[in-house]
Amino acid sequence: MTAVDTVGQAGSERATFLLPKHAYLDAGWYAREQRELFGKVWNLVAAEIDLPEPGDVLPVQVGCHPVLLVRGTDGVIRGYLNMCRHRGMALACEAGHAGANVRCPYHGWEFAADDGSLVRIPQRSGQFADTDPNAWALLPVAVQSWAGLVFCNPDPDAAPLEEFLGELPQRIGPFDPLRLTQVARLRVPLRCNWKLYIENHIDVLHLWYLHADSLGMFDHAGFAHDWVGPHWVSDEVLRPGADRPRGAMLPIAHIPDEERDVLRANLIFPNVPTSSSETMWITYQVVPTGPETSELDIRVLGEPGSQLDAESEATLLAVLRDEDGFAVEQIQRVLRSPKFAVGPLASAHELPITRFHRLLLERLA
Ligand code: FES
Ligand SMILES: [Fe+2]
């Protein structure tokens, strides 16, 4: 980890805002991201608990691709393009239970949950006598899980999720999300491009100012961060004698005592911030919903038996929504001015933004 008090991580790299203004406004840029970035990266699409039973289905959107997650009779979660091979109807439009076969609501074709094979064509002998069912299985999409989270990559040439995450699972601190339970899911609509929220997440400088009260108990001067492949990890500790943020959630039992004063904030590239404290481990995915809109999809994990009490929820949303969300929504509004321009960036504290932009531009090239 690198302390970021004086110099930038790469030494020679200059903190520069590399993306043009239209990257935050333009429908064409948005479509290119959907196709070239989200269509070719491992996207967080669900948690395993969203499909608790064999036969459960959940439609999700991955870049331009509608995908149907299906928990097979063997318990494995798989993904198929959510497109009937007959005329293209979506096989499911909401979470539900399909059983061993997924049945298209339009003309009743049925596909096996476990391998997507076409197992039934109604009126086959009269209307589809020449059709070979073996040629019309559902189209598979890569799905893999980590830490109870389900990821999907529509790119047929994608490297495995394990390779994409690299050493990230070992760099998130002593947390085992599989030993925690989801205690809340909160969704916050944002009137801003998704990248503004991510840039804010990896901007060290704003901690002193935007979060002067809400995070003032942490020692920002000792903030340390690092890149793990395209992912970002950070930590900072409580000031000596400062009180931890209050709340009534149970402390996480499996972390060592020295972790209890640490606040971690990480980024699973490209759009999944995570953070952890003594009582919670959270993901807050910034889901793009349009060039100038997104949605914060927050999952709060805690010790089994814990609940997200009102004070903990208010503390969490004060930072993520009322401070971070508010700031980036204001930037989005100002962006529309013809006079909008980004000035100089802090040489070290805003350098992660430069790296994030490079990672995006490489994928959009
Ligand atoms: S579109 Fe699915 S059965 Fe016709
Ligand atoms: Fe923030």
What are 242-270's pLDDT values in tens digits?
A: 988 778 999 999 999 999 999 999 999 99
Ligand 1, atom 3, lies closest to the CA of: 107
pLDDT for residue 6:
34
Neighbours of ion ligand 2 (CB under 5 A): 324
Give the distance (Å) from ligand 1 centre to CA of residue 66.
16
Same domain? For 60 and 145 the reply is: yes
32, part of any domain: no
pLDDT, average across residues 128-141: 98
Going by C-alpha positions, the residue among 79, 291, 42 that lies closest to residue 158 is 42
Residue 365 has pLDDT above 90, yes or no: no
> Taking all residues of the chain, what is their mean pLDDT, rounded to a whole number?
95
Residue 9 has pLDDT above 60, yes or no: no
Residue 7 has pLDDT above 60, yes or no: no
Q: In ligand 1, which atom is closest to the CA atom of 84?
A: 2
At 11, is the pLDDT very low, low, confident or very high (cuts 50, 70, 90)?
low
Residue 235 has pLDDT above 80, yes or no: yes
pLDDT, average across residues 280-292: 98
Rounded distance, CA 247 to CA 7, Å?
Answer: 36
The three-class DSSP label of residue 141 is strand
8 A C-beta contact, residue 38 and residue 66: no
pLDDT digits 0-9 by tens, 319-340 = 999 999 999 999 999 999 999 9
Same domain? For 243 and 346 the reply is: yes
pLDDT, average across residues 3-9: 39
pLDDT, average across residues 58-70: 97
30, part of any domain: no
pLDDT for residue 363:
96
pLDDT digits 0-9 by tens, 185-231 = 999 999 999 999 999 999 999 999 999 999 999 999 999 999 999 99
Same domain? For 158 and 192 the reply is: no
Q: For residue 145, list its beta bridge partners.
A: 150
Give the distance (Å) from ligand 1 centre to CA of residue 81.
14
pLDDT for residue 1:
54
27, part of any domain: no
Same domain? For 213 and 301 the reply is: yes
Q: In ligand 1, which atom is closest to the CA atom of 104?
A: 2
Name the DSSP class of 238: B
pLDDT, average across residues 282-288: 98
Whole-Å CA distances, 227 to 9, 106, 267: 9, 48, 9
8 A C-beta contact, residue 204 and residue 263: no
Which residue among 134, 162, 190 closes a domain? 162
Q: Quote the tokens at residue 238.
A: 């409580």
Same domain? For 97 and 235 the reply is: no
Same domain? For 132 and 266 the reply is: no
Select from 80, 87, 93 the residue to mutate for testing ligand 1; criterion: most ligand atoms less than 8 Å from CB: 87
pLDDT for residue 13:
85
31, part of any domain: no
pLDDT digits 0-9 by tens, 160-194 = 999 999 999 999 999 999 999 999 999 999 999 99
Domain ranges, residue 239:
2-17+168-364
pLDDT for residue 270:
98
pLDDT for residue 182:
97
pLDDT for residue 72:
98
Same domain? For 270 and 332 the reply is: yes
Rounded distance, CA 25 to CA 327, Å?
Answer: 17
Same domain? For 93 and 186 the reply is: no
Same domain? For 319 and 243 the reply is: yes
Enumerate residues 6+ apart whose C-beta is below 8 A from 182: 47, 49, 299, 300, 301
CATH of residue 223? 3.90.380.10
Ligand 1, atom 4, lies closest to the CA of: 107
Same domain? For 128 and 209 the reply is: no
pLDDT for residue 3:
41
Residue 2 has pLDDT above 50, yes or no: no
Rounded distance, CA 129 to CA 126, Å?
Answer: 6
pLDDT for residue 245:
77
25, part of any domain: no
Which residue among 104, 133, 162 closes a domain? 162
pLDDT for residue 340:
97
269, part of any domain: yes
23, part of any domain: no
pLDDT, average across residues 138-152: 98
Same domain? For 335 and 197 the reply is: yes
Rounded distance, CA 287 to CA 203, Å?
Answer: 19
Number of domains the chain is built from: 2
Residue 70 has pLDDT above 70, yes or no: yes
8 A C-beta contact, residue 150 and residue 43: no
CATH of residue 140? 2.102.10.10
Range in 9-18, 64-73, 149-158, 304-313 with the lowest mean pLDDT:
9-18
pLDDT, average across residues 53-67: 97
Pocket lined around ligand 1, Cβ cut-off 6 Å:
84, 86-87, 89, 104, 106-109
At 8, is the pLDDT very low, low, confident or very high (cuts 50, 70, 90)?
very low
Residue 146 has pLDDT above 90, yes or no: yes
Residue 310 has pLDDT above 80, yes or no: yes
221, part of any domain: yes
Same domain? For 124 and 208 the reply is: no
Give the distance (Å) from ligand 2 centre to CA of residue 326.
10
pLDDT for residue 4:
41
Which residue among 145, 162, 179 closes a domain? 162
Ligand 1, atom 1, lies closest to the CA of: 87
